[in-house]
Structures are given as C-alpha cells and as structure tokens.
Structure 1
C-alpha cells in the first residue's frame, strides 16, 4: 500500500479505557520483524494498540513491517509505505541506484551518505516522515517515533510527538570501537555511527521519551543528555500466547539456543562459542543453534574454526514464528550472552516457553530475567568460563531446569506482556496530548498549552531548516550534501571510500537488521 493510498478506517466506540479512541501514527524507519528488535516492537505494539480500540497506522520504510490481522472483524493496524531507496536490500546491498530512481534531494542525500561509509536511514526517513505528516495535518492525535531520532521529527508535526528509545545506539558504537583491531576499522565504525551525533541532539529536545527498562533510562540520561523527568519506562514483553510451553515438542538433549541478529560485539556470541567448547569437554553432546545469519568471517567464524566446532554450531535464518517457538521449546537451555541489552526480547520469549535460561547481567537483562537461581542462572558479561559453568550445570540437572523454566514463565506472565505494554503506552500518549493542550478524551484541568510538539521556538526554527536545504542538482548523487549525515570533515570522504570495501559485510548485517 502506498503512502497516498493507505488510510486506516475509523475506530468504533470508546477505547478499552473508556475514553475516546486515538488516531496513532507509529513511525519505524526499519521494520524487519525477524531480525532485530525494532520490527518486533512495532508488530506487537501496533496489534495490541488496535485491540485496545485505537486506530493505528504504521508508517515505515524497507524492510517493511509485518502487521497482524485481528480476529472478530476488529480494525487492525494499517501499513503506509514510505519508501527509501532500499540501499541495503539483498542480493545487492550497498547498491548505486539508477538515475531514474532518484526522486528528490533526500534520495541524493541518502546515496551520498552511503557512498561515504555512513548510515543515512534515520535522517532520510525522518525527513520523508516530516513531509508526509505535515501533508496530513489533522489525521492523527499523536505521532509515535520508534527510535528514528532524526532532525525531521523536530518542530510541529501536526500532533504531539512521543518517542521510544530502546537504548542509546552510542552503546553499540562504544563497544564496537573497543573491539576494533586497527585504525581502518575504528574509522569505519566512527563513520557508520556518525548519525548518533544527530540522535543525541534530537533526543535532548524531545518532550516525551519512552524506554523499555530502568537500565536504558539511565543510559539515555548519561549518553544522550535527556532530562530524567522526560523519560518514562514502559516495559515490553513476549507474545505469551505464541511463546508458551508445549509438552508435545520433544526436547533435544544437549541443545542450547540463542538469538544473534548480527555478528557485533554487543551480542557476545563469540563468548558463547568459546563457552561451548568448554562445555563439550564434559558434555560431548552439547551443541548450539543460533537464530541469525552465519558469519563468513570475523570473531565468531574464527572462534568456530579455532575450537573445531563446525559440526556443533548451527545457524538458522528466515524461519517462521511457529518454527522459532518450536526451536526454543526443543532446547534444554536458552542463552543470552550479550554484553549489553536495552531489554532483551529473546530472554523474555525463552522464559515464556518455559525453557530455562542462562543470561548475562549486561544492561537491562537482569530486569527481565530476574534473580540468579530463582528464574535464571546469571553470569557476568564477557566471561566465557562463567557461561560454560552455568551451561554445564543446567544441562546436567533436570530438576533445576524444570524449576527455572516454570518460574521464568510465571515472571513473564506477571510483568512482561504486550497487552501491558500497550496500556502503558496509551497512558503516555494521553499525557503528551494533555501537555500539548490537546483533547485526550478526559478532562485534565490546568494542562499547559504549549507548542503541539512540546518544543521550544528555537528548536522549532532549527527543525524548519531541514525543509529548505541548500540547492542540489536534480538526479546528481554526487552533489554536495550537508548535516551530520555527511563526512566528519570534507577531507574524510576519500578516507571513508578507501576503507568502505573492507568492512561491508559487517555493516550489511547491521543495516539489514
């Protein structure tokens, strides 16, 4: 469905909270629900918001989100496609578009940034979304941005803005720089993550920020400089109807399952591979199934080869929801080896199936997984020996597996469901609308009448500048471009191009997820 053609139908009757149903624009610059958490968040949150009686229109770019159809004739979320040039698509990632594909200056900006080793999508999607929303002024009660944090979303969008920041991408940048082996790699990481400077500047100006954990909240304060009183924690969760125990699925002895959307230091997969080698010394049948793309080079591929684990580590990609659930059910142990997570959906989903969990204490994982020995076995991040000890202990103790599995599911049911997440999110929508002087469907005396987006006049003026860029030649991707999406300095362009090819596969995995 195109941006021009897609319109969600009107909601019927009051919402589940007894108030007026809301018209929600949910923005996502990347919506793949099978690789990375942003697409999962949009898919499940949009469904539950619609179940609560609200009209939800997801506005997204490639890879487009997959949205659920509701039962019983209820209006489900609608998708409006806001296409980019899709520069990272398979089978030709980092492609150069043909001349007739260029539509405007935003397309030229997107290609120019990609050519110089940067990641353009947060900025370019925000500019397209701004144009789209301003053309449809009055269609929405609230705009909900899913971590785009682009300049285009500052100022008046025609409705109050609420933004979800799962965790600051500056954390990813820091971990990748720490793991960089040489100056070329460090340069490539800095260039790729140049968009985080924009995200810092935008985040500080946002009136209402949602995040998924207390750990992420503190990281947003520390890394992005957002005022703590503007940040609200709304936990997300698992689809507990889908991720549920099923005794009919046979458990495979020695099977360990983990999810790793990309071969990046943040996910800690290399430590799990090293741990597996140690586990197999005592449990020869232990083997690992990784939900994610097999790396052909890099630390994980090297570790698999170094420890002779070619037959003991399997990668699966592109499986259906049902296949994923059965895979997790079939494991004796699920593992989250990440150095840092803003929430950890894989932990919540594994616990929801009743599969016992070994997890690190990186970032917000303890908020999800709970206490060591009660709902999981917890180990320090980056410690392969501790991972191996916990995995060996759990593989060898069926009573402990049963106890942790049952306690883990109960914890998820109490605290981490998408229905709870949607209810908490709607409460923040109505609060943002009241703060902006909008009708929320309920009286709230004394609410301040401020700029509809909650921004200061100076910030609004800065945002207006993105609608009037410096002229560029139509159809010329080599025309000069400006802003944070461009090279760090004019002389950086040649250096960026020189290291571009050496780091393509790693950036491809990040871009497509």
Structure 2
C-alpha cells in the first residue's frame, strides 16, 4: 500500500455497484457530493465504480461503469444484481486492485475487497434495527447480511451523525474508535435566501417511505388549516403515489428538477420535516440556506442537525406537528436568521476531510 507507506496520496476505489440512480434519496446526494469533494484534495487519488445502469452519476473523479450490470430498486432486483457482481467479482477486483482502500458509500460490500486492501463502509443508520416493523422480512435479511455483517469486519466505518454512531455501538457492539462521524454538508452557494414575501404553503421533500410519516403530516395540516384556512401542502420526492388518495389541498408533485426544489425552498411559508427516523436529514439545512423557517421532528438525529434554529415537535402527535408548523410560520424572522447561522456548520469539505481520516485509519488498521 504505497499511499500509506511513502506519504503519496492514498488511492481509493469508491465502489458504488449497488446504486439505483434516482431511487436512493439522500444517500445519492451524499455519494455524489463526496466524489466531487474527493476530486478537490491532493490527499487521495480516487476513482468511482458504478453499474452500467447508473453511468454518468459521478462528478469530480474518474468513473468506471461496469458493463452489463443493471441494478433495480426492489430487494429481488438488488439480490439479482449481487449475484451478477459475485459472478464477476474477480474481474472487478482486478480493476480495483491498484487502490489502497475500497470504500462502499452505499453500505453493501460489492464486491468484497482484495485481502491486501483496506475497507471502509458507510453505514448511514441502523433504522432496520430500531424500526424493524417498517421493513419486509427480505429487506431485514438483506440488511442483516450486507450491512451488519460487514460493519463488524470493515477496517473503518463512516456514519453521518453522533446519534447514528451511538446506535451502532449500542445495537451492533461496534468499537466506537472505528466509527468516524462525517456530518453531511450544504453548498450554500447554490441556495439564495429569500427575506421577502413567502407563499401560504408548507413544503415536505421526502420519498414516500413509511418512516417519512406522511399520513400524520396530512392530519396535522388539516388541524393547522383551522388556524390558517388557506394553508396548503406541497410534497416532492419519489414513491408518493403509494400514499393513495389525498385531500385537494395537497399538491403531490413527485420527483422535481433541482431548480424547482430551489424555488420551493425560497417561496414556502415553512419547511416541515416530520420524519420518524433519520441518520442525518438534509432538507432542514437546505431550507435554512434558503431563508425558509423550519418545523422538524424531535426524533433520531434531527435535533442534532437543526440545533436551536428550528421549531421541534413530536412526530407521532398530529396536534403537536400542527402547532410546530404554525409556530415556525409565526417566528419566521427569528428562525430565518438562526437557520442561516446553523447551516454554516455543515460543509461538504468537512465531510470529505473526515472520510480522508477514515481512509488513513483503515489503512493503519489493516497494517496493524
């Protein structure tokens, strides 16, 4: 491993062969930003590996698309792609063999590294252990094997909040010294704060996954409309058709272009974030960067991320969610200023630096 021995840049293979482009929520934002940042430091020389179905995903570093490898969103499709990767593991490992470290941003070690290479796993949360009733048996088995099993063997683990780290130590028995906390970041240059007028809607950008808590949010908006009669709700993200029939004051937009999301952040009366569980939770910070007041859940990592710059509420209580939304709208001027300060604490360059530390720690662990 020359990078660890002679002070030259560490060579890192960023293995993203389980990537389902457009179907993995905030983890995609994280992986794309990380590859961009790795291209901006002299401490590592990184290259990305993606399935053919996700070609063009990477920014900042060279990308290798593995031909004839296509990955779909269902557990069955993912297992099928794992079988393909396993069958071609030797040839893929040869393509990665010049690297000192293999990093798996999407958690699943596909394929496993060569015995001489250090390994780093990104494990963003252990939601499947904390909220198992939200997962199918197949998904629980998949995560038990590919998430938990490798977390105990990887030379270093990266996670994205102190909350997530604590849960990994408690639930998996991981050595806390092997877990590196890399808070995600916000590129504030891409967001323009709006200090002027805002429209009478609240925004929730989230996929239609059960833990995102859409049903209670819709109940809460119905309650809030008793105080703010014309209030509406805008939903963005994939999988929203699974929510079924919705009231006519809900605007279900689905997947939107980034430019449209920027505009929604700039014009919304408030961002509401009622998630039951997050390893991090980027939308509240993106809203803060846009000058948008935030009302957010007090569950999981969210209080760690929003600090005192948001109104927090009990996400299991629609009345409390409604009260939080109303308070955020009423406290707009105060929350806007607090949010602009809070978001400055979270940068992608800091996130990158923690990853570089994890790579070096993994090499050291491998050599010990």
TM norm structure 1: 0.64
1:391 aligns with 2:328: no
Q: CA deviation at 1:169?
A: 4.6
Distance 1:327-1:124 versus aligned 2 partners, 3 A rule? farther
Distance 1:123-1:224 versus aligned 2 partners, 3 A rule? farther
Task: Check conservation: 2:102, 2:120, Cα contact below 8 A.
Answer: yes
SS at match of 1:192: helix
Residue 99 of structure 1 aligns with which residue? none
Distance 1:46-1:129 versus aligned 2 partners, 3 A rule? farther
1:143 aligns with 2:97: no
Distance 1:391 1:83 in 2: 48
Distance 1:58 1:129 in 2: 17
Residue 256 of structure 1 aligns with which residue? 202
Higher fraction of strand:
2
Alignment of 1:49-68 (within 5 A): 49-53=38-42, 54-61=44-51, 62-64=53-55, 66-68=57-59
Alignment of 1:338-353 (within 5 A): 338-353=275-290
Task: Check conservation: 2:203, 2:234, Cα contact below 8 A.
Answer: yes
Distance 1:140-1:129 versus aligned 2 partners, 3 A rule? farther
Q: CA deviation at 1:244?
A: 3.6
Distance 1:286-1:315 versus aligned 2 partners, 3 A rule? same
Residue 260 of structure 2 aligns with which residue? 323
Q: CA deviation at 1:33?
A: 5.5
Distance 1:380-1:220 versus aligned 2 partners, 3 A rule? same
Distance 2:194 2:287 in 1: 13
Equivalent residue pairs, number:
359
Task: Check conservation: 1:173, 1:190, Cα contact below 8 A.
Answer: no
Distance 2:178 2:8 in 1: 25
Q: Could you list the runs of 5+ residues in structure 2 that have no partner in the other structure?
A: none
Pairwise CA RMSD: 2.7
Task: Check conservation: 1:39, 1:65, Cα contact below 8 A.
Answer: no
Q: CA deviation at 1:417?
A: 0.9
Q: CA deviation at 1:201?
A: 1.8
Distance 1:56 1:170 in 2: 31
Distance 1:41-1:87 versus aligned 2 partners, 3 A rule? closer
Larger Rg: 1
Task: Check conservation: 2:240, 2:254, Cα contact below 8 A.
Answer: no
Q: Could you list the runs of 5+ residues in structure 1 that have no partner in the other structure?
A: 1-13, 69-75, 95-112, 178-188, 438-447, 449-513
Task: Check conservation: 2:275, 2:297, Cα contact below 8 A.
Answer: yes
Q: CA deviation at 1:379?
A: 0.8
Q: CA deviation at 1:141?
A: 2.6
SS at match of 2:58: coil
Distance 2:122 2:88 in 1: 16
